[in-house]
Amino acid sequence: MTKYKMHILVCGGPGCSASKSEQIAANLRSHLQQEGLENEVNVVLTGCFGFCEAGPIIKIMPDNVFYVKVQPEDAKEIVYEHIIKGRTVDRLLYTEPSNGKKTPLDTDTDFYKKQVRIALRNCGIIDPENIEEYIALDGYKALATCLTEYTPEKVIEIVSASGLSGRGGAGFPTGRKWAATAKSKAEQKYIVCNADEGDPGAFMDRSILEGDPHSVLEAMAIAGYAVGADKGLIYIRAEYPLAIHRLQIALDQAREKGLLGKDIFSTGFNFDIELRYGAGAFVCGEATALIHSMEGLRGEPTMKPPRTSDKGYLGMPTNVNNVETYANVPAIILKGADWFSSIGTENSKGTKVFALAGQIKNVGLIEVPMGITLREIIYEIGGGMKGDKKFKAIQTGGPSGGCLTEKHLDIPIDYKSLSDAGSMMGSGGMVIMDESSCMVSIAKFYLDFTVEESCGKCTPCRIGNKRLYELLDKITQGKGSMEDLDNLRNLSHVIKDTSLCGLGQSSPNPVLSTLDNFWDEYVEHVKEHKCRAGVCKALMKYEINPEVCVGCTACARNCPVNAIKGEKKQAHQINQEACIKCGTCMEKCKFGAISIK
């Protein structure tokens, strides 16, 4: 194996790949080859670095210098200036907004300073398609330790003592789930990885699989040993081709090395994993619906009990955890339960991966200790609001979560605190909104998603959410009443109390949280037929100020429906019945004569 003097790590996550990071890597290799350096400098396409807003990102090791917003044409300068001459390419360094200084080390940026990476420990560091690099960072050492030094009971004891809980949303203690599956008696048991990540704007699990697939495979084997299972299944969306590609490579490599299959580490333990593909149904993130889908049935949930630990895949005891939960396990085995439980809060141990999206400067993927505040995430790690606009709300927990306001910014992020505030941890999506967001429309957006994704098995979810959506649509059309607001709240509680599974039980959260925190906006929509954010088109009206209009005709010439009339050099008027509220007139007016009322 070639021993390289330097490594150039190129982000190969979906965001950077879409911005030509693969071409950047190819150009770097080409210029290195031209200089005869291909055996001294290795170009590695890694997983996601997390700092998506600054992508495409490359990092030079061992110099530990990272460059941001790199373009394919920058490859030549990086090779000739940094690699050959040893000079930093200053123009490609990250500029820290808080002080305006160029920052060569990623660890010195506000984005990374407060992060603690456990589940994401190898993402952006190793080549996810090279098992040797994972092994070099103690990969599969945890599995070897479990098989040669610990009994299955001891493994469960360690996981339980660590305080690790399910990162898929429910937060159920992982050790208890493993123990329940271990106690079930059956000839066959299964370990299932839930990789059906479907929240809008969420990409936590996908990034782990794309950047560090072996960590999940190793953890599943450890879980198999702990509960007495020899077969594993990864249920992953077919629309995640890069994650599937890298998982398949990882599976082949692990089998070739004898780390999956028969008699692992000559201990007599057998364990292998296969992939199962989902068609993109949000409800299949629920364990029983997921299992039905893997069995070739409709992805619908069932009542509990029995729980999957007693009767799961093919009627056999099955342990189901999501990707992020498994990714923590090898580190816990190697570093100990006390180490992991020392991170976080009393009731929420360890770290949590979040996907930051929306109107925030530093969009990306972060991993932070439990107990950090929303304010720290938004204003320190996230860099604050885009355009320095005023913060309005944050949606945590995806479509099933709630919208929190400025008064919630200093609560610690843990399962109980978020639940008490009317939201939830969920799988880790965070959508940040500024004053340009209409909270009634936000609730309507999430209800639209839920209605589309409902499996339809139970009436409260199938019909109730449809009625909720219709009420919200009526309000955004300016046709709502105060009675409709009462009906919204009452129906939401009925749906929460009577739905079959977690999807239906949590689906009204966006409605209830916005009713609680943004009641005045609902009242404005109903009583004043006004949308303060100017989002609800039915409540918008474009008007021309005759004292400012110079009659240039720019608005009339560009109106797609000829709704604006007027003579040259005279004030124009908008036919409100014909206007489709597209905003073209305001965009084309150079005199600021058009406004929204």
What is the average per-residue pLDDT within 588-594?
93
Q: What does pLDDT average to over the chain?
A: 93
Joined tokens for residue 256: 């070739």
Place of tokens 């009583």: 527
Gap between the Cα atoms of 372 and 412, Å rounded: 5
Give the pLDDT of residue 401: 84
pLDDT for residue 1 is more than 60: no
Bridge partners, 6 (sequence order): 41
Of 60-74, 118-132, 464-478, 494-508, the range with the lowest mean pLDDT is: 494-508
Q: How confident is the model at residue 57 (pLDDT cuts 50, 70, 90)?
A: very high
pLDDT of residue 521 exceeding 60, the answer is yes
Answer yes or no: are the C-beta atoms of 436 and 466 closer than 8 Å: no
Give the confidence band of 502 by pLDDT, cuts at 50, 70, 90. Answer: confident
Return the percentage of the chain with pLDDT > 90, whole number: 78
20 with 71: CB under 8 angstroms?
yes
Domains and CATH numbers, the chain: 6-113 (3.40.30.10), 131-340 (3.40.50.11540), 351-434 (3.10.20.600), 439-528 (1.20.1440.230), 541-596 (3.30.70.20)
Q: What is the pLDDT of residue 324?
A: 95
Would the pTM count as exceeding 0.85?
yes
pLDDT recorded at residue 477: 92
Read off the pLDDT of each residue in 405-419 and give the average, rounded to a whole number. 91
Reported confidence tier of residue 156, pLDDT bands at 50, 70, 90: very high
**Distance in Å from the first CA to the final CA of the chain:** 69
Structure tokens at 325: 């939960």
pLDDT tens-place string over residues 318-353: 999 999 999 999 999 999 999 999 999 988 999 999
226-282 tens-digit pLDDT: 999 999 999 999 989 999 999 999 999 999 999 999 999 999 999 999 999 998 888
Average pLDDT, integer, range 22-36 = 96
pLDDT above 80 for 200: no
Short-list 298, 152, 136, 292, CA closest to 214 = 136
Confidence of residue 577 (pLDDT cuts 50, 70, 90): confident
Judge contact between 247 and 275, C-beta under 8 A: yes
Range 335-355 burial, b when 16+ CB lie within 10 A, else e: eebeebbebbbeebbbbbbbb
The predicted structure's pLDDT at residue 290: 94
**C-alpha distance from residue 467 to each of 153, 398, 447, 488 (Å):** 49, 21, 10, 9
- Is the preceding omega at residue 104 within 30 degrees of 0, hence cis? no
| Cis status, amide bond into 56, omega within 30 of 0 | yes
Nearest to 597 by CA among 544, 546, 525, 518: 544
Mean pLDDT of 551-567: 94
Q: Is the pLDDT of residue 402 over 90?
A: no
Q: How much is the pLDDT for 286?
A: 86
Place 501 in a pLDDT band, splitting at 50, 70 and 90: confident
pLDDT the model gives residue 544: 92
